[in-house]
Structure 1
């Protein structure tokens, strides 16, 4: 790859890392926010959930917007929004305003993530898996060191610093992106000549509205029930209303001429469906360990928060270390072998979790974390390569956005699974049951990866000319 491509990857990587960085740093600020706003944990925890929900909805919407208005415009606009939200969030006078600005921040980072992969796919045609491995190093590295960086910032400068830290990264990404991302030719020039009704039909405003309200209702009520510890009639009614709206959304998308999410294209391309389902499952596995193992360490092993953070850092660092190797391997052999090895490692790691007890040596915990970390590093590259292989080039924006949404579905489901299985207060038996469930899911992934290839083995660009 030439120097321009390297600078392009750095500019995109600096922008894409903002989403995992901000979703992980804030977790360590919860106690400070509780004290600052005098709120209960279940209320303050919505600063995490709101970011996940906002990202899950915004990324496919912004992917669709990039297909209309252009990837460069959406990427740069997203960085501007993140800058403004990061600057204003610490100045919020109340917790409600903090949540609103947090959602705005998630929308801005989603605009960047939704088009980042598409920019790389369109502009770097040589050794794409290696390029994806560079992006994975940014995103995996941000997720890995996010809690550690957040802990240091909160300890030294207070909770507001986890928002201000975004500003230098946003500035650097914007300046580099302005110079390196090529101008694209959006179809927005045509849209400006249309009437308001024609414009709304072109972007499929009814579909976006149904998708947004339905998903917010369904996810918010599930997370509300999880955080409060009980399911009320109100939760059930709103949750079912959300599911009904999502079914209406599916019916609408199948009938409209210009759908926000081209479900018919997905139906004709089973590979796209498999990629998103598998990506959701691998993130369900990874984040169940990411969120569940610290409770085992602190409540069963009586490990301090500092040492728990150091142990969990090995999860992200092993993922970060394997990413460049994964890129070269996938460039040579295609995504399928890496996906198979990743599924096997997750199965072994899950079995290892089942075997843990209060006296297990630290090395056994590190081995389980390493298995999940390495598998995550392989998956981050292999799944994106599989997505590229199965996605029509003209729809790469919306398919990239949905791909990222699958990650957040997996993350949210992991939170729900932990709450249901482990319980509150923490149950060590429940933790072992969690390991059994993760083992079953991982074995399903092994079967899926061995049963059918997601793409031609040696052709990462087989669909470029669709």
Structure 2
């Protein structure tokens, strides 16, 4: 479960230091290489709830094996890509392939907890979060090292051996018996198409926001409304809006996830690009300077991971995001590396606290019978945040990863951080999670 779960973060974090070299290879600016981010997260935004639904229907094992096999094929395609378009296609396939492991893992954890009577497997959930954060530590540094050894192609090639390991371990160890199905096994194809069309049209506008492209926003709103109508009428919808409508704490968790991930992914992708282009570091050095961000996130998860209460973590995480968004306003081309590392520390504290707390909150708030779908939707919320971050990256770095662009991005992130603080403070239901129950 851990190895399968790291496939998405390792592909996310390694790319952070490869965007500038890839742009140099194909002769394109950051506003175009941002589609490498968008392609993966559009695919995962759709793929996560689909995979979660299939896990609920057919069990975690087949979805895990198919998804991890696709990752290997996508990595090979990316390594051999002759054009940026083919490289974007490989990222889309990576997005679909990496979508199965997380909902499969949450499903396995829930079924094992039910079997053993373990009501709150906080330690296991922490292990999954720590594994993701550890890969975020390794990813930029590993990506920089691979680029130094053989170019950016190697960050795609590494998916092949990882895929083989996942398939072998999955065949040997994952339970072969699928979960009992209580549905027809049908997928809501109209819902999937409408959801995908809404996201794609909205991202086409956000990547190049212009008044002349207003029709994309109108189309996105129209298709989005059609999606809502279809979901409310279908017996087995792609996204069960009836469940969301009756579970306000869960809705708040999804909103927090989107906002928190806008902050996390903005730092993950924008900061390394600025370090390379705006501060003059090479890919390996930029990768090393990203270590404080993820090391801090890992440490804060280790320190707080086994504590079931989440409200304090979320409040602290949102405040740290405010600080992390403020700091880039005061950096420039000659800022000392130690101060730049401090910006990463602030972002890491926010990322570690909010990511773990939102995952634990979902575990308590979701319907146990739909834990796979709910977990997949939480990841979808995270990837929606990544899409917004990619659009912001394209907008503020449209003329290159400049210091001016970084300062403008910081103002945007301050607004996001303020919203995260507000949503967290208004959600009183968080105080009940992790509180000892009376006998």
TM-score under structure 2 length normalisation: 0.87
Change (3 A) 1:154 1:259: same
For residues 376 and 11 of structure 2, the distance between their equivalents in structure 1, rounded to whole angstroms, comes to 18
Change (3 A) 1:88 1:417: closer
For residues 187 and 180 of structure 2, the distance between their equivalents in structure 1, rounded to whole angstroms, comes to 11
For residues 204 and 420 of structure 2, the distance between their equivalents in structure 1, rounded to whole angstroms, comes to 28
Change (3 A) 1:430 1:80: closer
Is the 8 Å Cα contact of residues 52 and 103 (structure 2) preserved in structure 1?
yes
Change (3 A) 1:267 1:174: same
Shift of 1:455: 4.0
Partner of 2:2: 13
Partner of 1:313: 291
Q: For residues 77-92 of structure 1, what are the structure 2 equivalents within 5 Å?
A: 77-92=66-81
Partner of 1:7: none
SS across alignment from 1:203:
coil
Residues 148-171 of structure 1 deviation map (CA, whole Å, 9 limit, x = unaligned): 212222321333322221233223
Q: For residues 368-447 of structure 1, what are the structure 2 equivalents within 5 Å?
A: 368-420=343-395, 424-425=399-400, 428=403, 431-447=406-422
1:24 to 5, 10, 13: 13
For residues 81 and 281 of structure 2, the distance between their equivalents in structure 1, rounded to whole angstroms, comes to 35
Q: For residues 230-245 of structure 1, what are the structure 2 equivalents within 5 Å?
A: 231=210, 233=212, 235-245=213-223
1:213 to 194, 197, 209: 197
Shift of 1:188: 5.9
Change (3 A) 1:94 1:443: closer
Q: For residues 14-413 of structure 1, what are the structure 2 equivalents within 5 Å?
A: 14-30=3-19, 33-34=22-23, 42-92=31-81, 95-124=84-113, 125=118, 127-186=120-179, 191=184, 202-223=186-207, 225=208, 231=210, 233=212, 235-294=213-272, 297-298=275-276, 301-329=279-307, 331=308, 334-356=309-331, 360-413=335-388
For residues 60 and 129 of structure 2, the distance between their equivalents in structure 1, rounded to whole angstroms, comes to 20
Q: How many residues align?
A: 433
Change (3 A) 1:83 1:309: closer
Once the two structures are overlaid, the 10-residue window that deviates more, 170-179 or 311-320, is: 170-179
For residues 277 and 227 of structure 2, the distance between their equivalents in structure 1, rounded to whole angstroms, comes to 44
Q: Which runs of 5+ in 1 are unaligned?
A: 1-11, 192-198
Once the two structures are overlaid, the 10-residue window that deviates more, 319-328 or 111-120, is: 111-120
For residues 103 and 285 of structure 1, the distance between their equivalents in structure 2, rounded to whole angstroms, comes to 22
Change (3 A) 1:92 1:419: closer
Residues 379-437 of structure 1 deviation map (CA, whole Å, 9 limit, x = unaligned): 22111000111100111122111111111111221233344456635564554454344
For residues 34 and 432 of structure 1, the distance between their equivalents in structure 2, rounded to whole angstroms, comes to 22
For residues 450 and 291 of structure 1, the distance between their equivalents in structure 2, rounded to whole angstroms, comes to 28
Residues 228-269 of structure 1 deviation map (CA, whole Å, 9 limit, x = unaligned): xx6374x43344323311210001111222211110110100
Change (3 A) 1:244 1:460: farther
Change (3 A) 1:92 1:413: closer
SS across alignment from 1:110:
coil
Is the 8 Å Cα contact of residues 188 and 236 (structure 2) preserved in structure 1?
yes
Once the two structures are overlaid, the 10-residue window that deviates more, 258-267 or 287-296, is: 287-296
Change (3 A) 1:324 1:316: same
* Superposition RMSD in Å: 3.0
Shift of 1:52: 1.7
For residues 269 and 12 of structure 2, the distance between their equivalents in structure 1, rounded to whole angstroms, comes to 13
For residues 332 and 24 of structure 2, the distance between their equivalents in structure 1, rounded to whole angstroms, comes to 34
For residues 402 and 87 of structure 2, the distance between their equivalents in structure 1, rounded to whole angstroms, comes to 33
Residues 83-107 of structure 1 deviation map (CA, whole Å, 9 limit, x = unaligned): 2332344345555444333322211
Partner of 1:3: none
Is the 8 Å Cα contact of residues 134 and 298 (structure 2) preserved in structure 1?
yes
Change (3 A) 1:461 1:115: farther
Change (3 A) 1:158 1:372: closer
Q: Which runs of 5+ in 2 are unaligned?
A: none
Shift of 1:446: 2.9
TM-score under structure 1 length normalisation: 0.82
SS across alignment from 2:145:
helix
Once the two structures are overlaid, the 10-residue window that deviates more, 24-33 or 159-168, is: 24-33
SS across alignment from 1:424:
coil
